[in-house]
């Protein structure tokens, strides 16, 4: 049965018929999508032209977190399997903290095996590495794998949901409440918003290695006997797609958190409660294509090398100032060449100087409007000379003529 289901999924995708790998409501072939839905040449000329069918949506740039477009972005809705963005984030963070390894063995419980909906047909007692479980969750949206990992990490799905809510609070997702790790059952208390989904999606894709999973179109598990296919068609048909997660139930509608990167700039488009799969992909593609056509991320630097700043009564005569961080600004492509920078620096400093102490400011303006102010800091501490240091210096000057 497992092998047959996996082969069937692969065959249906290759023949152009998508095998639904989402909750039970979507356990029938989706409608075929016309090619124009993924046509990147159809780009609105301005945000006012973004007439998308999605009832709720948001478009965000990853590096700055700036929102370019929103439509009912704070309406609390059911996210279906897009829930798994947070599930995956917690797994990724556990791996990076050392709490888990991708080689950790996960054992499927009876509860996880009985999840239904989108699944890889895990059996009670079946074991897989976290690596394969993560692949199942990310690519096939497997509810059984998600619950198995959640139980391994937290002891129960309910305890894992509490971890999800805690992480959501840490990220400022104030309109989100998770009651499970999958989007099923379709709990009326399991709610979030397009804005909150964009926030957690941004956090997830900041861990670049997860894209090794989120960009998989087709793969397999169980030594190649069970095929996996990605329900996010943008991964196959949209240039630069990096993920991220689809979802569907009757009450949630067709949902999608879509991410894509080109020329070092990455955007996040979240669409919720769409009437059809075609609507969700059209909406996400329209948002992403608009962003890539109109915006870029600039990192303007000082026009000249920052000069050293003299330090009085210090163990070092100067500090070499540096930018606290490189400024990152989301700007329209037409404006990128018009950015201007100016630098203000302290003329001198008196010891002691602390490492990280602000010694100036880099200001970026566009047509006279201030876009950002970045602190310029001292990279190292400079201790103040003691009385004996001063005395020794005076003696050297008197005896040896040294300064």
What is the set of active-site residues? 81, 84, 141
Three-state DSSP class for residue 140 = helix
Answer whether 38's CB lies under 8 Å from 238's CB: yes
* Nearest Cα residue to 146 out of 103, 178, 102, 115: 115
Count of residues in the chain: 403
Distance (Å, rounded) from C-alpha 205 to C-alpha 134? 15
Give CA–CA dist 130/99, Å, rounded: 12
Report how far apart the first and last C-alpha atoms of the chain are (Å, whole number): 86
Distances (CA, A) of 370 to 52, 160, 269, 323, 358: 32, 44, 28, 18, 19
**What are the contacts of 92-96 at 24+ separation with CB within 8 A?**
92/204, 92/207, 92/209, 92/210, 93/167, 93/207, 94/153, 95/130, 96/207
Phi, psi of 210 (to 5 degrees): -65, -20
The HSE-up count of residue 76 (CA atoms within 13 Å, CB side) is 11
Q: Using CA atoms, how far apart are residues 186 and 194, in angstroms rounded to an integer?
A: 18
What lies within 8 Å, CB to CB, of 198 at 6+ separation is: 58, 60, 67, 73, 257, 268, 270
Q: How far is CA 19 from CA 114, 231, 394, in A?
A: 20, 8, 85
| Element of type H or E holding 165 | helix 157-170
DSSP 249-295: ETTTEEEEEEEEEETTEEEEEEEEEESSHHHHHHHHHHHHHHHHHHE
Cis bond leading into 352, ω under 30°?
yes
Under DSSP, is residue 104 helix (H, G, I), strand (E, B) or coil? Answer: coil
């Amino acid at each position: 049965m497992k092998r047959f289901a996996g082969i069937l999924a692969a065959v249906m995708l290759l023949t152009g018929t998508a095998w639904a790998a989402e909750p039970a409501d979507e356990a029938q072939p989706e409608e075929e999508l016309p090619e124009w839905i993924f046509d990147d040449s159809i780009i609105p000329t301005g945000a006012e032209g973004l007439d998308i069918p999605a009832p709720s949506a948001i478009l965000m740039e990853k590096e700055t977190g700036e929102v370019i477009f929103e439509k009912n972005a704070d309406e609390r809705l059911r996210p279906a399997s897009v829930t798994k963005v947070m599930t995956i984030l917690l797994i990724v963070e556990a791996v990076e903290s050392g709490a888990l390894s991708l080689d950790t063995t996960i054992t499927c419980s009876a509860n996880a095996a009985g999840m239904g909906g989108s699944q890889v047909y895990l059996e009670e007692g079946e074991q897989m590495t976290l690596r394969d479980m993560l692949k199942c969750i990310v690519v096939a949206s497997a509810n059984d794998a998600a619950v198995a990992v959640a139980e391994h990490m937290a002891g129960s799905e309910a305890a894992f949901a509490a971890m999800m809510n805690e992480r959501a609070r840490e990220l400022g997702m104030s309109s989100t409440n998770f009651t499970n790790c999958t989007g099923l059952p379709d709990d009326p208390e399991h709610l979030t918003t397009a804005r909150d989904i964009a926030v957690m999606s941004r956090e997830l894709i900041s861990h670049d290695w997860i894209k090794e999973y989120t960009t998989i179109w087709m793969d397999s598990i169980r030594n190649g006997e069970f095929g996996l296919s990605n329900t996010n068609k943008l991964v196959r048909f949209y240039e630069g797609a990096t993920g991220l997660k689809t979802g569907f139930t009757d009450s949630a509608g067709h949902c999608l958190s879509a991410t894509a990167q080109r020329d070092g700039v990455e955007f996040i488009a979240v669409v919720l409660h769409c009437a059809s799969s075609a609507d969700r992909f059209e909406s996400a593609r329209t948002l992403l294509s608009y962003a890539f056509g109109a915006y870029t991320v600039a990192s303007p630097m000082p026009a000249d090398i920052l000069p050293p700043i003299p330090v009085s009564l210090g163990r070092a005569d100067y500090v070499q100032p540096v930018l606290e961080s490189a400024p990152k600004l989301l700007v329209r492509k037409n404006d990128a060449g018009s950015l201007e920078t100016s630098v203000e620096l302290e003329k001198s400093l008196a010891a002691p100087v602390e490492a990280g102490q602000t010694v100036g400011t880099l200001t970026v303006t566009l047509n006279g409007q201030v876009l950002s102010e970045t602190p310029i800091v001292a990279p190292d501490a400079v201790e103040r000379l003691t009385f004996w240091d001063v005395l020794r210096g005076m003696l050297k000057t008197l005896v040896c003529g040294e300064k």
